[in-house]
């Protein structure tokens, strides 16, 4: 039931893991080269925040659908 909601949440979790992986990888690169972390990691932090929002919205959508069906 509602496979599309769980599929969306699963894709969000995958993107979240990828965001953390690339964030750690680029953070290590910044440490090695001495680049500014704020400007270089801005896209990575954005991807991380969007992935978290994606998962939260998927779960909240599932909860809202369940509430509508029970009322």
User: In this model, does residue 1 exceed pLDDT 70?
Assistant: no
**Which residues, 6+ apart, have CB-to-CB distance to 42 below 8 Å?**
none
Q: What is the pLDDT of residues 10-25, one digit of tens each?
A: 888 899 899 999 999 9
- Record the pTM: 0.78
């Amino acid at each position: 039931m509602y496979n599309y909601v769980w599929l969306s949440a699963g894709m969000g979790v995958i993107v979240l893991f990828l965001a953390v992986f690339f964030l750690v990888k680029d953070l290590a690169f910044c440490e090695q080269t001495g680049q500014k972390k704020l400007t270089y990691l801005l896209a990575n932090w954005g991807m991380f925040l969007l992935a978290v929002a994606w998962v939260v919205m998927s779960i909240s959508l599932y909860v809202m659908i369940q509430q509508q069906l029970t009322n």
